[in-house]
Structures are given as structure tokens and as C-alpha cells.
A and B are shown apart, each in its own frame.
Chain A
């Protein structure tokens, strides 16, 4: 109620409405002109910088396709902006409730997060050097374009790779975590960015990278006593980042395809592009396809509820593990240990798990020690 009587909120709403008017009167026409190839130079440059694929897709899709996309974009911005100005702070205060994290959990998170990285990057250097043979096709992602307008030399790649290993070792052993963790994240993002700079983006490491950016900030959290971090906001932010990623993924489906997305033809169509034994089996049965679609969408839209009801992790974490395993098998995407699954470690209370499974034995005692 308070949000509705705040004058500043209504000013914000007026700005949104004016923005929508400007879009329909002026900007929408520019999009059409860009499609037809006679938009002003500054608008072309803007598209080149932020949506370079436009000039590829223009050849494949009708003008309506792009107008629908920009309408959708304006719709999303307006709805999110209105939600944020009226209820954003309220939701923020509810989500960011101070949570304690035990030192043991912190240690397990750190070891698995940085340990898994070695499994992912061990063969990157030869692959990146090999990829350098195709450097004529290098088209850097926006993040890399200021520093690396050209594909780096093998020597520079080796330096970044060595720095990544060094910072990984320091981070895993909790030495200068803020500095070493952020340095590792930067090297990891940079090297992965080179792989993505050949006209094909891949979001396989998306949530993992969010965790790499956030986790080092645990070094700034004060310990209330020897075994507990009080108000461990980075872990809470990791929860928000992961669950929001799933939520946005579900909302993409709903806002682009609508509820038709759960019809069997959708999943059958995607499965027919990959042809795996499990995928071919599922594709034969309409009810299985609908079931998969409904369960997948429910997981993506529902995962965010763990922020308000933490006990629901017992539903969503196993469901998510199964979801990634099945999509991996049906669509031939990701390996056996997907980075999307690895980040689930942050939802588990390892102290409880180890107490249950090891009966406070050797492994429990080793991890529960303060050192390292």
C-alpha cells in the first residue's frame, strides 16, 4: 500500500509511459528502417555494438520478427521497471536476510568450486592455441573487444593460463581469497571469452562464472566466532544468481512461445535435431514430451521459491540434477558433470550431510578443522 502512495514511484511510472510513447512514435520506425537498410549511421553503429547478429538474422527473418522482438524487449523493460520501482526494495529486503554460514560449509564450497575448475580448464591452452589458426574469424565478445581487438598470441595465452592456474591454487587454499579469487575469475572469463568469440555463444558456464565472481567476496565477511560467518551475503547472492538464471530461462519460453511451448511438437522438434537413443524414445510418446516440458518449466519457474522457503531445496536440487542429466542425455549438451550442477553445492548444508554420512569420522574432522 505504501508503494502506491509514494510520489516518487508515480514519477517513475510516468517516465516509463513517456519511454513507451517515444518507442512507438520514433524508435520502432528506426528498427524498421534498419531492417530495410536505410537507418541513420548512429543507429547502425548502435546495433553493430550491441546486437551484431542483427545483420545476419536480417537475411533470414521478416521485419515482423524484429519488431516483435523489440516490442517484447520494451514490454519486459516496462514490466520489470514497474515491479522494481513499486516493490523492488521490499522484495530485496525479504530476499537478503542475513544468513550464517559455517566455516565447514565455506571450506567445502571453496574446494569444490575451485577444484572443479581444474577439471574444466586443463586442456584449454592447447585448444586455444589451435583455435588461433582460425584467428581470421575472430570476432571478440563485447567484454574482450577493448583489450583484445585481435586474437592473442600463444605466448600471451600461456601467460593468462599460468596466471589462472596460480590464482586457482591460491584461491583453493584460501590465500588472499578476495584477490586470488577475483584474479582467477577474470582469467577464466577471459579465456572462456576467446572460445566464444567465433560467432557462437554458449552459456554452459553461465551460473558457474557468476559464482566465481561472487564467491571471493566471502573474504570480506566477518566471522562471528571461530566456526561461523555471520551475514554471509555472497552465498545469498549466489542463491539469487542461480535461481534467477533458471527463472529467466523459464520466462524466455513463456514470453516467446507462450503456453504452446509445453505442446508435444515443441520437444519433439528439438529432439529430432539431436537424435539420441533416449531422445528418440521420448519423442515417440506425446504424453512423455508434455510431461518433460511441464516438469522442466516448473523447475525453471519454481526454483526461485527457495529464496523464500529454503526447505524447498530438498525438492529443487534433486530435480535440477535430474533435469540436467536428462537434457544432457537427450540433447547431447554438456558432459557428465555440468557446471550448472556443480554450483548446486551452494544449496547444500555440508556440515549436516557429513555428520549424517560419516558419523563425524575422519573426513568430517579433516574438513571441520579451521586451518586452510
Chain B
């Protein structure tokens, strides 16, 4: 019994350090790489905004009202944009949003100094 207990403890410790060794998260075992990157990498920081275009004005959407936090949306948008699936992202949001709209805009805010770029204007 004692032997199995020590084996279990060692396996648990191995799982604890596995994300550190592989530089990858294995939820619930996590890597703690937050704030570890040198600041030059942060020049590549990007945030995204989704806007609804109607009557010649763009209204930026509050992501919390859609069940997504701003942080989650940033990662989600980054994932779709960098895998060249931005239209798929916009199509899904188009179907989800019940508000009256002519088109949807996706903006990327990045660079040093920060600048805003239109990534895609979507209307089906």
C-alpha cells in the first residue's frame, strides 16, 4: 500500500511539472508562463472588436452581453483570423446577433503605438 502511495505522489508531481517541461498546458495541470515573455514580444499583442454597422454608424458590441468576456473574444478572434477563417467567425456572429444590422465589422487593435485596422466587413 505504502509503495502505491509513493508511486501516486510521484505521478502527481510528474503531472505538475509536465506543462513546464513541454511548455504546454494540460488542464487541470497548468503552465505558468504569464508575464514571462520579454516585452518586445508584446509588440505583437492584438485585441479585437466586433462592430455592428447600421445607418452609417458602427456600434462596438459588448461581448459580456453575448456570454463571452472581452478576453475570451480576443483569443477567439485571434484564433480565427490567424487561421484565415475570419469569414466563418463573422458568419456565426451574424446568425447569433438578433439586432438589426447592415453588416458586421471586425477590427484589430495592435502595434506600437496602438493602431486600429479593419480586418473584415461582413454581410452575407
Taking Cβ atoms with an 8 Å cutoff, the residues of A that contact B are: 50-51, 53, 55-61, 69, 72-73, 76-77, 80, 92, 96, 127, 130-134, 136-137, 141-143, 189, 192-193, 196, 198-201, 203, 206, 209-210, 213-214, 233, 237, 240-241, 244-245, 248-249, 251-253, 256-257, 260-261, 265-266, 268-270, 273
Whether the Cβ atoms of B20 and A134 lie closer than 8 Å is: no
**Bound Cα distance from A210 to B19, whole angstroms:** 14
**Bound Cα distance from A141 to B23, whole angstroms:** 16
Whether the Cβ atoms of A59 and B28 lie closer than 8 Å is: no
Among B36-44, B53-61, B99-107, the stretch in contact with A? B36-44
What 10 A-B pairs have minimum CB-CB distances, sorted nearest first?
A: A269-B39, A249-B32, A59-B82, A200-B75, A130-B67, A252-B36, A203-B30, A141-B27, A248-B20, A199-B75
On chain B, the residues within 8 Å of A192 by CB distance are 28
Check B123 for interface membership: any CB of A closer than 8 A: no
**Bound Cα distance from A77 to B37, whole angstroms:** 20
Check B118 for interface membership: any CB of A closer than 8 A: no
Q: A59-B82, A244-B17, A249-B32 are in contact. Are A69 and B23 (CB under 8 A)?
A: yes
13 interchain pairs (CB within 8 A)?
A127-B67, A137-B92, A141-B25, A141-B27, A198-B76, A201-B30, A203-B25, A206-B28, A206-B32, A248-B20, A249-B34, A256-B37, A266-B39
Whether the Cβ atoms of A133 and B67 lie closer than 8 Å is: yes
Whether the Cβ atoms of B67 and A266 lie closer than 8 Å is: no
User: Distance (Å) between the CB of A246 and the closest chain B CB?
Assistant: 8
Closest to A127 in B: B67
User: Distance (Å) between the CB of B85 and the closest chain A CB?
Assistant: 10
On chain B, the residues within 8 Å of A237 by CB distance are 9, 12
On chain B, the residues within 8 Å of A214 by CB distance are 12
- 14 A-B pairs besides A55-B82, A200-B75, A265-B39 with CB distance below 8 A are A55-B83, A56-B83, A77-B21, A96-B9, A141-B25, A200-B74, A203-B30, A233-B5, A240-B16, A244-B16, A249-B32, A251-B20, A253-B35, A261-B36
Check B121 for interface membership: any CB of A closer than 8 A: no
On chain A, the residues within 8 Å of B66 by CB distance are 133-134
On chain A, the residues within 8 Å of B23 by CB distance are 69, 72-73, 76
User: Distance (Å) between the CB of A215 and the closest chain B CB?
Assistant: 13
Whether the Cβ atoms of A210 and B22 lie closer than 8 Å is: no
Q: Name the interface residues of B46-85: CB closer than 8 Å to any CB of A.
A: 66-68, 71-72, 74-76, 78-79, 82-84
Whether the Cβ atoms of B67 and A92 lie closer than 8 Å is: no
Closest to B9 in A: A237
A60, A206, A240: the one within 8 Å of B30 (CB): A206
**Bound Cα distance from A53 to B83, whole angstroms:** 10
**Contact flags B1-17 to A (C-beta < 8 A → 1, else 0):** 00001100110110011
Whether the Cβ atoms of A131 and B67 lie closer than 8 Å is: yes
User: Distance (Å) between the CB of B44 and the closest chain A CB?
Assistant: 6
Point out which of B13, B27, B44 has the most chain A C-beta atoms below 10 A from its C-beta: B27
Check B24 for interface membership: any CB of A closer than 8 A: yes
Whether the Cβ atoms of A260 and B38 lie closer than 8 Å is: yes
**Bound Cα distance from A69 to B31, whole angstroms:** 14
**Bound Cα distance from A251 to B20, whole angstroms:** 9
**Bound Cα distance from A193 to B22, whole angstroms:** 20
On chain B, the residues within 8 Å of A77 by CB distance are 21-22
Whether the Cβ atoms of A136 and B39 lie closer than 8 Å is: no
Check B111 for interface membership: any CB of A closer than 8 A: no
**Bound Cα distance from A110 to B82, whole angstroms:** 45
User: Distance (Å) between the CB of A256 and the closest chain B CB?
Assistant: 5
Whether the Cβ atoms of A73 and B83 lie closer than 8 Å is: no
User: Distance (Å) between the CB of A338 and the closest chain B CB?
Assistant: 13
Closest to A140 in B: B27
User: Distance (Å) between the CB of B124 and the closest chain A CB?
Assistant: 15
User: Distance (Å) between the CB of B39 and the closest chain A CB?
Assistant: 4
B10, B13, B28, B44: the one within 8 Å of A143 (CB): B28
Closest to A269 in B: B39
User: Distance (Å) between the CB of A265 and the closest chain B CB?
Assistant: 5
A76, A141, A193: the one within 8 Å of B20 (CB): A76
Closest to B22 in A: A73
Whether the Cβ atoms of A137 and B76 lie closer than 8 Å is: yes
Closest to A265 in B: B39
Q: A198-B72, A200-B75, A245-B16 are in contact. Are A50 and B22 (CB under 8 A)?
A: yes
On chain B, the residues within 8 Å of A268 by CB distance are 39
User: Distance (Å) between the CB of B54 and the closest chain A CB?
Assistant: 21
B9, B34, B96: the one within 8 Å of A134 (CB): B96
User: Distance (Å) between the CB of A49 and the closest chain B CB?
Assistant: 10
